[in-house]
Amino acid sequence: MERRTFLQKGSLAGAALISSSLALRAGNNQGSYADKPFNLNYAIHEGMFANNAGKDFTDQIKFAHDQGFRSIEDNGMMSRTPQEQERIGKTLDTLGMRMGVFVITSDSWHWKTSLTTGKTEWTEKMIRDCKEAVEVAKRCRAKWATVVPGNFERSLPADMQTANVIDALRKGADILEAGGLVMVLEPLSDNPDLFLRHSTQTYMICKAVKNPSCKILFDMYHMQRNEGNIIDNIDRCWDEIGYLQIGDNPGRNEPTTGEMNYHNIFRHIYSKGYKGILGMEHGNAQKGKEGEIALIKAYRESDAFL
């Protein structure tokens, strides 16, 4: 047998063995990875393991813990009932897991022209949402919450829009700091109308807000689309990064499904001593139970950098 053929068959056999092992664990919960967490702290979201664990989010959390994951995040936490927020928080306490980000918003104001305008109505709305977010965080054990300033105000110069955003964020950060919560500003790539788009732009705003409760959410999927140069830009902005999120590009699915070398990125983040959470802000490349198992396998492979 030629060496290349032998190696290819060996690799396929190894992948099949890992997949069948994960499938067995997913099916009967025996011999799990519960005592073998990942080197970094990856956070699942609702629905990611619904086919293997069922529709209930707390069951999905327990399944994720059994596979070695140690955190969750939930963008829509503020829309849940207080009872559901508390139930999720207690589940995390029982399992020794952490809560990642939720989005600070009472509606979809962060997708509108908002904080850039400097209008009192938008600043007051953010202040109300920040006060509510502090109470939500207590129930679900959160320490970080996502903030997006909204869209450009095309009638104002860019520098004035930036000043308006900084002024509003200072007011929100004061409330969050008193409540033990950190806002993480997320530059996005979803559409060209969004004001916050680059890591260095967000870095400058955090420096201007000058509050430990205002940091950067560095979503590597969005930053790959907007600016690339992921490792260098993480290094440039490191002292203002409070939270990281994951998603391969193109496709916004798990690592190994696109062009990004997450094995190297994860190794670099680990080497910097990062002890925070990396949110799995992406979909599953494949459907069904098999797709969920493939996702777990992709994280095990990408996390195997030691």
Rounded-to-integer distance, Cα 59 and Cα 44, Å: 12
- The string of pLDDT tens digits covering residues 158-182 is 999 999 999 999 999 999 999 999 9
Rounded distance, CA 85 to CA 65, Å?
A: 19
Q: Is the pLDDT of residue 73 over 90?
A: yes
- Mean residue pLDDT of the chain comes to 91
DSSP 8-state assignment for residue 156: S
Kindly tell me if the per-residue pLDDT of 29 is higher than 90: no
Residue 111 — very low, low, confident or very high, per pLDDT cuts 50/70/90? confident
Q: CATH number, domain at 171?
A: 3.20.20.150
**Cα–Cα distance between 80 and 215 in angstroms, integer?**
25
Whether pTM exceeds 0.75: yes
7 in any annotated domain: no
- Contact status, residue 176 vs residue 145, Cβ threshold 8 Å: yes
The predicted-structure confidence for 200-246, as pLDDT tens digits, reads as follows 999 999 999 999 999 999 999 999 999 999 999 999 999 999 999 99
pLDDT at 6: 34
Q: Is residue 215 part of a domain?
A: yes
Q: How confident is the model at residue 22 (pLDDT cuts 50, 70, 90)?
A: low
Q: Establish if 10 belongs to a structural domain.
A: no
Q: What is the total count of domains within the chain?
A: 1
Asked if the structure places residue 55 within a domain, the reply is yes
Banded model confidence at residue 5, pLDDT cuts 50, 70, 90: very low
Give a yes or no: residue 28 inside a domain: no
Higher local confidence (pLDDT), 46 or 12:
46
Residue 211: the pLDDT is 98
Dihedrals phi, psi of 110, to nearest 5 degrees: -75, -5
25 is a domain residue: no
In a domain, 96, yes or no: yes
How far is the CA of 270 from the CAs of 188, 206, 222, in angstroms? 24, 23, 21
Please check whether residue 26 lies inside any domain of the structure: no
Domain span including residue 299: 33-303
Catalytic residue IDs: 186, 281
For the cut 70, the answer to whether the pLDDT of residue 26 exceeds it is no
Q: Do 276 and 242 meet the contact criterion of CB atoms below 8 Å apart?
A: yes
Angle subtended at Cα 78 by Cα 254 and Cα 60, rounded to the nearest 5 degrees: 45
Q: Among residues of the chain, what percentage have pLDDT more than 70?
A: 89
